[in-house]
Structure 1
Amino acid sequence: MLPRFGGLGGWTLGEVALLYGLAELGFVLMDLLFGGFDAPNLSAQVRSGSFSTLLLRPAPLPVQVLGSDFALRRFPRALLAAGILAYGMAHSGVAWTAGDMALLAGSLVGLIAFFGGLFVVGGTLTFWTVESVEAMNVLTYGGRSLISYPMDIYGEWLRRAFTYLLPAAFLSYFPVMHLLGRPLPDGLPGWAAYLAPVAGPLVLGAAALLWRVGVRHYQGTGS
């Protein structure tokens, strides 16, 4: 589509590939690590009662959940995302420096922590709802799709919601804007592009606190 229309909101194919590849790679790596916390997976364990057996084992509970759905089928998706990112890096016009690579790596870490935190929240809610909460997919899979493209193509209310209410824009959009030498929206300072390694772990930390509360109040389904 991009070669046919000549770009997307002023972004070239290489620039969009850089943004898309970064967001996709971060999400796929997160899915590889945090797949056990995905709401449908954890919901099935809660519903069947198998989650209760995890509480009886001596291994740390989060480690057991993390290892419960480590699917190798996700590796091809990671390779595809890495290929798209590599194409974007080669065709975005960025003269890569060590600082730029560090910014890209920090953004990747932030993406993994951020979406991992949302997976943990979605999984924790099943302790009370038993069934997975479909509304969480708007934030996880929907959020992943949203930040895969330039956020200036969306309406102002949507862009602001995923910037100031849910700090998704800090994870990939702002770092890529900075790498391309473009000013950040709303007059934000340039250093805001470096907040991905802070914003992501903050969301994951808050999710971990909710997880502890959920586990403490878990009573099982009686099945």
Structure 2
Amino acid sequence: MADEWRALWRLYRVYARMDLLWFLRDLRYCLLQMAADLVSAAACVSGIFLLAARFDGLGGMSRPEVLFLLGYATLVDGVYMLLFANNNAGQISRVIGRGQLDHCMLQPVPLWVQLLACGFAPVSGCSLLLCGAGVTAWAAAWGGLRVNALLLALCALCSCAVIVSVVYLISCLAFYAPVAAEEIAMEARGLFGEMKGYPLGGLPVAFQALLCTLAPVALTGWAPVRLLLGQAAPIGWLMLPLSAATAIVLMCCAFRKGLRYYATCGCSRYSGFGHR
């Protein structure tokens, strides 16, 4: 196990160097991509904040608290992009559906190490992370919100783990239906992208519970922010990591089952005259 972790850190260094080289060799295109990410993030959060500004709050949160929620949602997206932006690591259904998982299995490195490392983009994928950190800091200063930076980082990692686990869990369908489910990871990811920035305080308790369990969108935005702002019960500090760990375990079980099916049946995207 120690050798595998050392291999992971070595691969992180390799992918970080490759990402930096791309930034230096194609500076204009890289900056355009980072700017596009920022514009897209601003478009996603501006509507919610304008509603909060118009009605002096939204979903039981004040304007600074809503802005903090939107900054946190952007921060979680930034962590996701930082760790899973490259090589379809965050769109694993494409890798499975196109039969490219065979390429990973041929490597002398465990599959989990490859999947954790191949998406690392510390340069081209840092724009949303920096933007989210800036917005959360601005919102905290504006509203006088007292937030622990270490707890903020912990919550962001747990939220990112929930997103990755759900995306990978749903992407396991690509093992059984590679053509139909090739792009399903994007749809699963889009669910979190569109909903995690909404204040959910105005919803009935039953819907809040649903969005914290079966469809854990609230665990990637509203619920962690309430914990950070001291608006939720202290038991939430146990439930958030526990929920993230449960999602990871379920994902690993489903992925292992899919791999066993893949080892037996292979990928139907291959044909006698070549790939796809």
TM-score (norm 2): 0.65
Q: Relative to structure 2, which stretch is displaced further, 157-166 or 103-112?
A: 157-166
Distance 1:47 1:203 in 2: 22
Contact 1:19/1:173 (8 A) holds in 2: yes
- The residue that corresponds to 1:208 in the other structure is 252
- The residue that corresponds to 1:73 in the other structure is 124
Say yes or no: does 1:107 pair with 2:155.
Answer: yes
Q: 1:49 to 1:190 in 2, by over 3 A?
A: closer
Q: Relative to structure 2, which stretch is displaced further, 162-171 or 193-202?
A: 162-171
Match of 1:38 among 90, 103, 116: 90
Say which one has the larger Rg: 2
Q: Percent identity?
A: 25
- The 3-state SS of whatever aligns with 1:150 is coil
Contact 1:25/1:81 (8 A) holds in 2: yes
- What is the 5 A alignment of 1:1-223? 1=50, 2-35=52-85, 36-39=88-91, 42-43=93-94, 45-71=95-121, 72-96=123-147, 100-131=148-179, 132=181, 139-154=188-203, 158-182=207-231, 184=232, 189-218=233-262, 219-221=266-268, 222-223=270-271
- The 3-state SS of whatever aligns with 2:243 is helix
Contact 1:162/1:168 (8 A) holds in 2: yes
Distance 2:126 2:160 in 1: 15
**Gapped runs of 5+ residues in structure 1?**
none
- More helix per residue: 1
- The 3-state SS of whatever aligns with 2:213 is helix
Distance 1:49 1:167 in 2: 29
Any idea what the Cα deviations from partners look like across 1:8-46, whole Å, max 9, x if unmatched?
Answer: 23422210121122222123312332343434x542x34
Q: 1:206 to 1:37 in 2, by over 3 A?
A: farther
Contact 2:170/2:184 (8 A) holds in 1: no
Give the counterpart letter for 1:32 in structure 2. L
- The 3-state SS of whatever aligns with 2:126 is helix
Pairs aligned (count): 213
**Pairwise CA RMSD of aligned residues?**
2.8
TM-score (norm 1): 0.79
1:111 Cα shift?
0.6
1:151 Cα shift?
0.8
Q: 1:57 to 1:149 in 2, by over 3 A?
A: same
1:171 Cα shift?
4.8
Q: 1:103 to 1:69 in 2, by over 3 A?
A: closer
Distance 1:68 1:192 in 2: 32
**More contact order relative to length (CA 8 Å, sep ≥ 6):** 1
1:138 Cα shift?
5.7
